[in-house]
Amino acid sequence: MTAVSAGQLLPWLLVAPLAWAVIAVLIESRRGALTIAVHAIGVLLHVALGVALYTSVARSGPAAHALGGWSAPLGIGLRADGLAVTLVLLTAVVSAACAVYVMTTERAAHDADAETPRYFWPLFWLLVTSLNGIWLAGDLFNLYVGLELLGLSAVGLVALGGSETALSSALRYLMAALLGSLAYLLGVALIYAAYGTLALPELAELIAREPLTQLAIALMTIGLCLKTALFPLHGWLPPAHGVALTPVSALLSALVVKGSFYILFRLWFDVAPEAVTPLAAQGLGVLGAGAVLWGGWQALREPKLKMLVAHSTVAQLGYLFLFFPLAVGTGVSAAALATQGMLLHLVAHAFAKSAMFLASGTLIAAAGRGGVADLAGIGRHMPMSLFAFGLAGVSLMGLPPSGGFNAKWLLLQSALASGQWFWLCVLLSGGLLTAGYVFRVFRESFVESKDSQFTPTPRGYDWVALTLAAMAIALGLASQAPLSTMTSGLRVMAGGT
């Protein structure tokens, strides 16, 4: 791999998953060993590409690739800085874990002659393609196409369940996604009219504070917040993430909602820092605080386990938005701390939440029903799944040692450094609410119950969930290396706003 430069590697991260989507359509009617082998090769290749790109960029700096040989603004550029390649690697790892979970299900179903949902794999690979496309994009309109591919494949994955609730959730999700992308596209139209280019690096130099630009950024921000399910636009998320197949829920909560957030972050802090205002940032922060409190409260009251985890996603996404008031209009050190905290939270939440969804799915598969109360007595039978659930919970609550703890600690320090102590209250009460709903699940699980029956589940399920949860914890023990890669070269770290 040493002979290949990062710039040459970039396009393979799009071509490979897209090729596997085509292959997946072609081998869809086959079941069993062949499917598993083919997709295992795809997953391994994808992880290898992700690792190679990450190490290359971490060692020798950002890379770029001019698609079609036409340099921007005429052509479309791909670019990979430390943040982009970290998210590529995160996508590779989390999607690989979800893929292994699905393969475990398929093997168990094959042995038992049972049906598994059809056409999962093509949509899975299209989803992975779109995520990589978004992380690496260097063009405003290309991001729109990437967002649509992400939205449609995610909606399709939700609908695969086929039940009435799956369909209504998918439809609600689709309506929100479509409205969000149109708002974004309208913003793109205004930006092109004002600056005559769509290339992000060029726009970053041109964009000035003027009414049309600010309107464009506002429209794009609203659209992206809707897609990221920021309170109070979050109504579509819990049903969609709660009803989807377990590995799909994990992908959606860990990665998909981060796609639109990532674009928002790039827009505010890389492309148009001149056009955004501290007032707007405070507004996003207030909504984020609303999400932390409301999502946590809803999770506390939720009777169904997967819905509880989905409400928790709404709350955890709120923390991402607390970053805005800490980074816009504050000093360099507060902004740098907030950026580190937010990015670490994004990665830690991806690991912890995918682990938590997978563990919950396993618990539900064992209990046969999806209520939190149905878990009574499961503590004796499924210690591994509960342990994974608990480890993920530690990171979500922000207890040391975990990625979640370090992230919240950094956000807290940033709040103090910028003199905005009121965000501390949100951080602390959010942590308490999280502790509340995680312990609620544990309390039910350890209730002694004689009459409950549990079906055994494949061992593979627990290993996958445990691995992801362990990564969320490990991120707390070794935050420094990924953080310095992620934040290298970001404008906000140098006090760009």
Partner 1 sequence: MRRRVARHAVAGVASVAVGIALWQAIGVRSIPTVSLPALVREAMPASGVSHDITAVLLNFRSYDTLLEIAVLLAAAVVALALRDTPRERMPASQPYLILDTFVWRITPLLVLVAAYLLWAGSTRPGGAFQAGSVLAGAAVLLRLSGLAVLSVDDRLASRVVVVFGLSVFLLVAAGTLLAGQPLLAYPPAWAGALILMIEAALTLSIAVVLFSLFDNAPQSRPAAAPAQRGEA
Partner 2 sequence: MNADRLYAYVGVVLFAMAMYAFLTHTHLLRRLLAFNVMGGGTFLILVGLAQDGRGPDPVPQALVLTGIVVAVSATALAIILLRRWFALSRSTALPEDQS
Least Cα distance to 491 among 224, 200, 99, 247 occurs for 200
Q: Which stretch binds partner 1 (CB under 8 A): 100-108, 124-132, 262-270, 372-380?
A: 124-132
CA distance 130 to 19: 13
Tokens 């919950």 belong to residue: 360
Residues 392-431 that bind partner 1 (CB under 8 A): none
Residue in 66, 109, 300, 332 binding partner 1, rule: CB under 8 A: 66
- Nearer to partner 1 by C-beta: 206 or 384? 206
Across the chain, which distance is largest between two alpha carbons, in Å? 70
CB of 172 to partner 2, least distance (A): 6
Is residue 100 involved in binding partner 2 (CB under 8 A)? no
Token readout for 311 is 């409400």
Question: Please, are residues 83 and 136 in contact by the beta-carbon 8 Å criterion?
Answer: no
The values of phi and psi at residue 397, to 5°, are -70, -25
- Nearer to partner 2 by C-beta: 19 or 179? 179
Using a 10 angstrom Cβ sphere, with 0-12 exposed, 13-18 middle and 19 or more buried, the burial of residue 197 is middle
Token readout for 159 is 């609908």
274 binds, among partner 1, partner 2, none (CB under 5 to 8 A by kind): none
Is residue 2 involved in binding partner 1 (CB under 8 A)? no
Residues 180-219 that bind partner 1 (CB under 8 A): 186, 190, 193-197, 202, 206, 210-212, 215, 219
The string of DSSP letters for 88-154 reads: HHHHHHHHHHHHHHHHHHHHHHHHTT----TTHHHHHHHHHHHHHHHHHB-BHHHHHHHHHHHHHHH
CA distance 428 to 302: 21
305 binds, among partner 2, partner 1, none (CB under 5 to 8 A by kind): none
Residues 131-190 that bind partner 2 (CB under 8 A): 141, 144-145, 148, 151-152, 155-156, 159, 162-164, 167-168, 170-172, 174-175, 178-179, 182, 185-186, 188-190
Give the contact letters, 136-175, x = binds to partner 1 (CB under 8 A), - = no: -----xx--xx-xx--xx-xx--xx-x-------------
CB of 162 to partner 2, least distance (A): 8
185 binds, among partner 1, partner 2, none (CB under 5 to 8 A by kind): partner 2
- Nearer to partner 1 by C-beta: 162 or 400? 162
Neighbour tally for 137: CB within 10 Å: 24
Reduce the secondary structure of 435-466 to three states and give it as a string: HHHHHHHHHHHCCCCCCCCCCCCCHHHHHHHH
Residue in 70, 421, 422, 439 binding partner 1, rule: CB under 8 A: 70
CA distance 308 to 200: 38
- Nearer to partner 2 by C-beta: 222 or 344? 222
- Nearer to partner 2 by C-beta: 191 or 348? 191
CA distance 123 to 456: 29
The string of DSSP letters for 154-189 reads: HHHHHHTT-SHHHHHHHHHHHHHHHHHHHHHHHHHH
Residue in 1, 32, 37, 119 binding partner 1, rule: CB under 8 A: 119
CA distance 113 to 243: 24
175 binds, among partner 2, partner 1, none (CB under 5 to 8 A by kind): partner 2
CB of 314 to partner 2, least distance (A): 17
Question: Please, are residues 237 and 299 in contact by the beta-carbon 8 Å criterion?
Answer: no
- Nearer to partner 2 by C-beta: 108 or 160? 160
Residue in 1, 26, 44, 193 binding partner 2, rule: CB under 8 A: 193
- Nearer to partner 1 by C-beta: 149 or 396? 149
Measured at the CA of 67, the angle between CA 62 and CA 69, to 5 degrees, comes to 105
Size of the site for partner 2 (CB under 8 A): 30
Q: For residue 282, give every residue at least 6 positions away whose Cβ sits within 8 Å of its Cβ, in sequence order, or none.
A: 324, 325
Is residue 75 involved in binding partner 1 (CB under 8 A)? yes
Task: Name the residues that contact partner 1, by CB under 8 A.
Answer: 8, 11-12, 14-15, 18-19, 21-22, 25-26, 28-29, 65-70, 73-76, 117-119, 122-123, 126, 129-130, 133, 141-142, 145-146, 148-149, 152-153, 155-156, 159-160, 162, 186, 190, 193-197, 202, 206, 210-212, 215, 219
Task: Name the residues that contact partner 2, by CB under 8 A.
Answer: 141, 144-145, 148, 151-152, 155-156, 159, 162-164, 167-168, 170-172, 174-175, 178-179, 182, 185-186, 188-190, 192-193, 196
